[in-house]
Amino acid sequence: MYGHIHVIWKDMVLTMDGPEAWAQILLEAGIWDEAEVLDTVTQRDDLTFALFEGTCKVLAMPMDDALRAFGRHFVSFTLRSGNGAFL
């Protein structure tokens, strides 16, 4: 998974529930250094899944709902950042 996904995932969490939730998600995922997941290089899939699963637990949200919310947020983020051509 590309690290850009993690950057956009973080933006979604911050928008939905704020920085405290993001900090809890990192802890839940066993991530001690946020820079590790926000680097925009190719990331390990297990790291991505840990973030997704941590989000579902912290926000009490089923995975299907979280992924749908991410899809909507991804489109919005992409348009806001001036990268609409990628869609």
The tens digit of pLDDT for each residue in 37-84 reads 888 878 889 999 999 999 999 999 999 999 999 999 999 998 887 766
3-17 and 45-58 are packed helices; what angle lies between their axes, rounded to 10 degrees?
Answer: 10
Q: Provide the whole-model pTM.
A: 0.88
pLDDT of residue 17: 96
From residue 44, how far is each of 6, 36, 41, 54, 63 by CA, in Å?
11, 11, 10, 16, 19
**Is the model's pLDDT at 1 over the cut of 90?**
no
30: confidence class by pLDDT, cuts 50, 70, 90: very high
